[in-house]
């Protein structure tokens, strides 16, 4: 055997050029050794700014531009479990579904079926006599002709509130993200009122407080909130929030729509990477991983 044949057998790369061939290896992404923590974002307030849509299989990070990490892998955590995904930048803006507030009442302006009614809403602790009011009225409105008034300035009653079962009445889907908005203002006398998403049709301890209105808030303001739905958010509640349990609010122009895609450069495709152990309502962190995009639905990929 000549000298060239021996070199070919022992060191083929010297004959053909390039580095020696290395067989693919399976790297388990769940191992912390493979996370370089290029960027870590913590959100101790939960899903307020990290919205995880398990129905549409995407994660949206409002206000966080992910452009420079497009194609990178990420993992998100609720403090206990992890899920994985790929930053895609999908979507050309916040994409919403059809209007879910279809009840014909005083605040259904977004559905263009406003009516002089309180259809679909319930009240508690409001007697409906004297200055205690739960009614559709046309004296104070922000959009259209009517708005709902809820007021307890006559014979105040503790825990007075008005509520809507949005989860049941509008067939909300657990894990789907939604965009909620409404206009409201205080009646101008009495104590502050609050608004919240709750698991029951009363204030008790609000699951998530949306906003508050004091007696000085006599100009309509718009409240918006995006959230991943679960049964803790079944009701939207407007309630008197302090002693002596009086005051009131006007409510108008309420809208609720499903979010079907997040804005460009703020979206992470999750697909089948979702770990069912992760609670999408309490995500506390996002890590950008220093590795190529992964197409395998399992957290395993070939590495050379």
pLDDT of residue 137: 95
pLDDT of residue 170: 96
pLDDT of 221 strictly over 90: yes
Query: Can you give the C-alpha Rg of the chain in angstroms?
Result: 27
197-206 pLDDT, tens digit each = 999 988 777 7
**In the 3-class helix/strand/coil scheme, how is the chain assigned residue by residue?**
CCHHHHHHHHCHHHHHCCCCCCCCEEEECCCHHHCCCCEEEECCCCCCCCEEECCCCEEECCCCCCHHHCCCEEEEECCCCEEEEEECCCCCCCEECCCCCCCCCCCCHHHCCCCCCCCCCEEECCCCCCCEEEEEECCCCCCCCCEEEEEECCCCCCCCEEEEEHHHHCCCCCCCEEEEEEEEEECCCCCCEEEEEECCCCCCCCCEEEEEECCCCCCCEEEEEEEECCHHHCEEEEEECCCCCCCEEEEEEEEEEEEEECCCCCEEECHHHCCCCCCCCCCCEEEECCCCCCCCCCCEEEEC
Task: Place 118 in a pLDDT band, splitting at 50, 70 and 90.
Answer: very high
| Domains of the chain, earliest start first | 28-94+262-303 (no CATH), 96-260 (2.60.120.260)
53-95 pLDDT, tens digit each = 878 878 888 878 888 888 777 777 778 877 777 888 777 788 9
Tokens found for residue 278: 């992760």
Task: Place 300 in a pLDDT band, splitting at 50, 70 and 90.
Answer: very low
Burial label for 204, CB within 10 Å (0-12, 13-18, 19+), is middle
Q: Could you give the maximum distance between any two Cα atoms of the chain, in Å?
A: 111
Closest by Cα among 211, 145, 149 to 181: 211
pLDDT of residue 134: 93
pTM of the model as a whole: 0.78
147-185 pLDDT, tens digit each = 999 999 887 677 889 999 999 999 999 989 999 999 999
């Amino acid at each position: 055997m000549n000298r060239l044949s021996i070199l070919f057998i022992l060191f083929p790369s010297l004959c053909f050029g390039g580095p020696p061939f290395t067989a693919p290896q399976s790297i388990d992404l769940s191992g912390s050794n493979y996370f370089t923590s290029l960027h870590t974002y913590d959100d101790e307030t939960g899903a307020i700014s990290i919205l995880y849509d398990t129905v549409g299989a995407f994660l949206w990070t409002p206000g966080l531009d992910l452009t420079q990490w497009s194609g990178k892998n990420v993992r998100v955590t609720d403090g206990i479990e992890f899920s994985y995904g790929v930053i895609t930048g999908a979507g050309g803006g916040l994409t919403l579904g059809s209007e879910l507030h279809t009840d014909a009442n005083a605040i259904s302006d977004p559905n263009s079926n406003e009516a002089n009614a309180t259809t679909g809403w319930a009240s508690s602790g409001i007697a409906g006599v004297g200055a205690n009011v739960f009614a559709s009225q046309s004296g104070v409105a922000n959009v259209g002709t009517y708005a709902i008034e809820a007021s307890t300035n006559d014979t105040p009653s503790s825990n007075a509130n008005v509520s809507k079962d949005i989860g049941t009445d509008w067939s909300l889907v657990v894990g789907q993200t939604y965009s909620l908005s409404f206009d409201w203002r205080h009646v101008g006398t009495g104590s502050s009122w609050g608004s919240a998403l709750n698991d029951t049709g009363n204030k008790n301890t609000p699951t998530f407080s949306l906003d508050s209105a004091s007696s000085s808030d006599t100009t309509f303001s718009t409240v918006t909130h995006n959230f991943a739905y679960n049964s803790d958010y079944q009701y939207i509640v407007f309630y008197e929030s302090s002693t002596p349990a009086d005051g009131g609010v006007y409510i108008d122009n309420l809208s609720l729509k499903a979010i079907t895609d997040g804005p460009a450069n703020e979206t992470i495709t999750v697909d089948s990477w979702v770990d069912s152990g992760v609670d999408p309502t309490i995500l506390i962190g996002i890590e950008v991983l220093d590795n190529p995009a992964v197409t395998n639905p399992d957290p395993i990929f070939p590495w050379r």
